[in-house]
Structure 1
């Protein structure tokens, strides 16, 4: 599977320490995606800023519950790709940066990895958070998302079809599976 990310379509960058991002990495058997404190580096991007150029037949989707985020990955190697809302009207995609670009290029385009830390209460070790940075990051993300909503833009390929349905049927895991993954087990 191969793709392209357009740096001009990025909103911001954050490291998410939520239990569900940690559980997603465990679900995939990709604990190396997490940093030493349990965080996942995410690049917030407009959905049209990401294109799959080869191997789209390997695209797969899961969710931690019937109303949870859609978490996309490459089924062939179980590499995490991105997170999206179930609502295609939310013009946002959170790309897991391990697949985005070379780390130095990402740092040059968006700043250092620990620019903004979110959901720090679930980190596996202490993480310094900054409410001001979080607010500024939120404005960088939600400003374009709201503007896109007002213009009627919808998320589309590769994650949604022309009717606004996920391009792959999500595998919704059970509450028991989710709880086991959150505790550090595997699926």
Structure 2
């Protein structure tokens, strides 16, 4: 239906629970290598995966019965998953979103939303009467286009082809947080 497809993997540790585990101990103590291939397959099929870690340290785990994969550097594994997912952060040392608290987690999710829900929207069909277009974003009606996208809330046409609109200010933020947008094409009222 034309909507972007993506996955967000949020975790506080390394992947375990492999379907191929020989027993219950292995299920929790061995890293699930199949996850990387699953994420690569999704990316190949046009579904990228964003990886978000919660309080992930760059260290190798101990070998002990604790429910976490043994001798595994979760930080390194999440970097690998971020690359496999096709949308790593632009930081060669930390390619996944590593959140230490609620504010950082919200910031990571907002950054992801801004990537998957851009504020330039294709109009199909192109409006016959561009002066009569009204845009509603997340329940807020913006009747007329704005003049300055940098300082106003609302929308404007990208250019005079009227094929795209750009959401501005709170309209862009509302779309990125909700994904809800409607463009209504009105007819001019003869008067």
**Highest CA radius of gyration, 1 or 2?**
2
- TM-score by length of structure 1 reads 0.21
Larger helix fraction of residues: 1
Larger fraction in strand:
1
TM-score (norm 2): 0.21
**Which of structures 1 and 2 has the larger relative contact order (alpha carbons within 8 angstroms, sep 6+)?**
1
